[in-house]
Structure 1
Amino acid sequence: MKDKIYICREFSETEELHSHSGIYPYRAVSERPSLNSRGEYSTPSISDDKTVDYARIAALGPERIFEEDIAENLYNNQDDIHHHADIGWYTDLYTGYVADEEKRLKSSSGGLATALLCHLLETGEVTGVIHMKASSEGPLFQYGVSRTVEEVQSGSRTRYYPGSLFDVINEVRDTPGKYAVVGIPPFISELRRLENLEPVLKKRITVHVGLVCAHQKTANYASYLAWQSGIDPDRMTSIDFRTKVSGHPANEYCTTIYYNDDDGNHCEKLVAQSDLRGTNWGHGMFKSYFYDFSDDAFNETADIVFGDAWLPEFVSDYRGTNISIVRSQYISSILDSMRRSGKISLKNLSETDLLLSQKSLVRQTRREFQYRLRIFKKNGWAIPLRYRAIRSDGNLTVQRKLIQHLRGRISRASNQLFPLAREKHSLLLYDIPMFPLVFAYKIVDKFGRFTKKYFA
């Protein structure tokens, strides 16, 4: 039987199972992570004496405390607390948006997350906000600390882009204050585990704001959108993945690509999402490998969680509407104050409607999780040594099984082929071999929609 050190070392050397958050390199090594050719932050080599720490913190680590156990310790002792197997602990469920029309239009969804973060700064509840921001050099976006409302608002857009918390954790450790942090599920849960090992971080990071996230994209996703739009990825200076379009449903947005032309002029190009290949999230193109094993659908260890209200009555409004899961009574009281002052609009939401608003996410991360594990194991692909026993659908149709097979193939192929296409300066080296996989997915998906419509 393998001993603990051996198991932890084996995990630390399996980079496909790393979340690339920069959290455990901070704990285990002093070397700063950097983006690799796959568009992910590489994890530096970790010495044997640090591998157990690493396996305790990592989102898929064999020694980790599961999210549900972390969340129970955080939230279960509150009054008027509720629990749902998929949603987790919560005090309130809402749909809503920021009341200021201009701020709502500038946001990617309903603007609630930015409104809360600005309110926390304005009222002195926090002195800094840790979130993804535009970068002046290197990656297009990276984690940074905003200390003014203006800084928070300038970084309020959705970033389908990887980020490393390595530098900001050092800043929090070295700079006294109270901080709010924004992150996807694996990042928030890893921070929670790190805070249990480092009390100074636990004391200073006082608010954890979670995002609902179908999967993490690599940096190559942004490059692919630019390249197929006729823009050299190396000339791209920024990208707005979700530009709202008046008169269109909220899920029919555009992408704005910012770049420098041959003469050094700053330019921008607006492209409809429907005209861009790779934007169907069901394909899983440029998905980080580890996210196939993230079963934390609703960011269970975050104090408050924001996502999109993908429900018919809200999708028709191009301005965007949020869903929100409130887990902390402290945050619930702040939201109530913001609502009473007219800063935000909130309506109660049922568990059923919350799950319907993210039904594809729940199906991918929860219902079809166990089957996906079997596929990966059969193909000889890396899988976690330890994972949660979640409720999965044991009666998947042939169509849903094929979807899982194709998603795995598309994800892996996209991450392998794109670096080669960049190296050879030929987009065709990516698009041609990807075409049959994407075409097969479309056929299987359409067949599923047809049978559901006429035979369900």
Structure 2
Amino acid sequence: MKSSSGGLTSWLLEKLLEIGYVDAVLSVGRATDESSELFGYSVAYCEDLRTRRKSQYYASTMSEVLTFARQHDKRFAVVGVPCYIKAARTVCREDAVLASRLVLFIGLVCGHLKTQAYAESLAWQLGISPRELAEVDFRIKAEGRPASDYDFGARRSGESSWLRSPTRLLVGSNWGYSAFQPEACNFCDDVVAETSDVTFGDAWLPHFVEDFHGANLVICRNRLLEGIFETGQKRGEIVLTPLDPSEAVQSQAGGFRYRREGLALRLSDDIAAGLSVPRKRVRPDPRAVSFRRAALLRQRRRMARLSHAAFAEAIAAQDLTVYLGAMKKEIARYKRLDLYFARRTLVYVKRFLPRARAEKTRDREGRHHTRS
């Protein structure tokens, strides 16, 4: 399948349309030529889903498709990252008409959102300026490389050929640097779209990631959907491998750390700065993480804020190096912090581990003599 990962999201949506459980899907796809944006929410039918198999790291709005759903007496499945699914669920609690029409909620695992500038910054590094940019592909599978090591591609307006590069070589592409992350993501505590009927994500586990085709992590909370998956496996259309819940958590370990211990630190930092913060499932705690992790998390937040400002300056100056210079400086600072604390830990181990072992040996010998 031409999907970002295992292709199960597209497979399920097609099945739901085939059996008539839903009439249409509300999901993010490529925007129309008239739009100034690359992607946006729209109404998709079976024939449209084949063009929506890939991940789109691009912030958009659901307002127009929710209005469409309210005006058309049909059954819809909604696809989105955790905050969008929760928003749609919340709207349904207040709007009986939408509640009767939005019948399934399909969640996508999310590390954090990206603004439109993320796509523009990567394409610009390939030589296509934001004004020339017509199309991007965030995840092009690369045969012979792990599923997590994919390419980014972009196409210039008026041209048919694509430019591409391994994503990891592009400045700001590393998810750990939080480039172009909206501030709201700093307060999110939902990694796996907990309010959805089913969640799909990448199975970032050793026994799956080496296959460049990729594999999906699936968390199903709906009996109807469980039945569809089981039927698909019996027919040989899909392959399902049961996972222990701990493995599911492990596959998204970084996201859970960021939205649990990391969130506790960020809440504490904002309160200390005199800012109001939302009430979350974790309490503000300045000691939620080690001193090392705290320094790195604060630097990530600094890089996120800087990326927005630096890219806006680059656009105004029509000079990409304005953004690249600023980001490279902060990325280097992040790496120095990481290396500094790693070395301190190593020195500590070298100094104190032999001493601890010696003391343990003396204690053991002392107990032996006492028994004798």
Q: Same fold (TM over 0.5)?
A: yes
Provide the C-alpha distance between the structure 2 equivalents of 1:452 and 1:205, rounded to a whole number of angstroms: 52
Q: Provide, for residues 330-372 of structure 1, a one-character-per-residue CA deviation record: whole Å limited to 9, x for no partner.
A: 2212221222222211111011111111110010011221111
CA contact (8 A) 1:141 1:161 kept: yes
Name the amino acid aligned to 1:107: S
1:218 aligns with 2:115: yes
Q: Provide, for residues 418-455 of structure 1, a one-character-per-residue CA deviation record: whole Å limited to 9, x for no partner.
A: 11210111122222222321111112234556678895
Task: Look up the match of 1:266.
Answer: 160
CA contact (8 A) 1:128 1:147 kept: yes
Partner residue of 2:249 out of 346, 349, 355 = 355
Task: Look up the match of 1:126.
Answer: 22
Task: Look up the match of 2:361.
Answer: none
Q: Provide, for residues 265-315 of structure 1, a one-character-per-residue CA deviation record: whole Å limited to 9, x for no partner.
A: 333101111221111101101001100100012111000000001111111
Larger helix fraction of residues? 2
Provide the C-alpha distance between the structure 2 equivalents of 1:374 and 1:395, rounded to a whole number of angstroms: 9
Q: Secondary structure at the match of 2:177?
A: coil
Q: Secondary structure at the match of 2:329?
A: helix
Task: Look up the match of 1:332.
Answer: 226
Task: Look up the match of 1:29.
Answer: none
TM-aligned CA distance change 1:423 to 1:324, over 3 Å: same
Name the amino acid aligned to 1:110: G
Q: Provide, for residues 55-82 of structure 1, a one-character-per-residue CA deviation record: whole Å limited to 9, x for no partner.
A: xxxxxxxxxxxxxxxxxxxxxxxxxxxx
Provide the C-alpha distance between the structure 2 equivalents of 1:127 and 1:347, rounded to a whole number of angstroms: 30
Task: Look up the match of 1:141.
Answer: 39
CA contact (8 A) 1:125 1:178 kept: yes
Task: Look up the match of 2:357.
Answer: none
User: What is the TM-score when the length of structure 1 is the normalising length?
Assistant: 0.73
Query: With CA pairs under 8 Å and 6+ residues apart, which has the higher RCO, 1 or 2?
Result: 1
RMSD, matched Cα: 2.0
> Identity across aligned pairs (percent)?
32
TM-aligned CA distance change 1:448 to 1:146, over 3 Å: farther
The structure number with the bigger radius of gyration is 2
CA contact (8 A) 2:264 2:288 kept: no
Q: Provide, for residues 391-441 of structure 1, a one-character-per-residue CA deviation record: whole Å limited to 9, x for no partner.
A: 989452211011111011001111122112101111222222223211111
Partner residue of 1:341 out of 229, 235, 238 = 235
Task: Look up the match of 1:172.
Answer: 69
1:375 aligns with 2:242: no
Matches of residues 232-271 of structure 1 in structure 2 within 5 Å?
A: 232-260=129-157, 264-271=158-165
CA contact (8 A) 1:303 1:326 kept: yes
1:420 aligns with 2:317: no
Structure 1 residue 373: Cα displacement: 1.2
TM-aligned CA distance change 1:391 to 1:349, over 3 Å: farther
Provide the C-alpha distance between the structure 2 equivalents of 1:428 and 1:161, rounded to a whole number of angstroms: 23
Partner residue of 2:324 out of 421, 431, 437 = 431
Partner residue of 1:399 out of 279, 282, 292 = 292
CA contact (8 A) 1:297 1:366 kept: no
Structure 1 residue 390: Cα displacement: 6.0
TM-aligned CA distance change 1:408 to 1:377, over 3 Å: farther
Q: Secondary structure at the match of 1:234?
A: coil
1:184 aligns with 2:71: no
More displaced stretch, 366-375 vs 165-174: 366-375
Provide the C-alpha distance between the structure 2 equivalents of 1:422 and 1:231, rounded to a whole number of angstroms: 13
Provide the C-alpha distance between the structure 2 equivalents of 1:285 and 1:193, rounded to a whole number of angstroms: 29
**Structure 2: gaps of 5 or more residues:** 354-372
1:107 aligns with 2:3: yes
Provide the C-alpha distance between the structure 2 equivalents of 1:199 and 1:434, rounded to a whole number of angstroms: 47
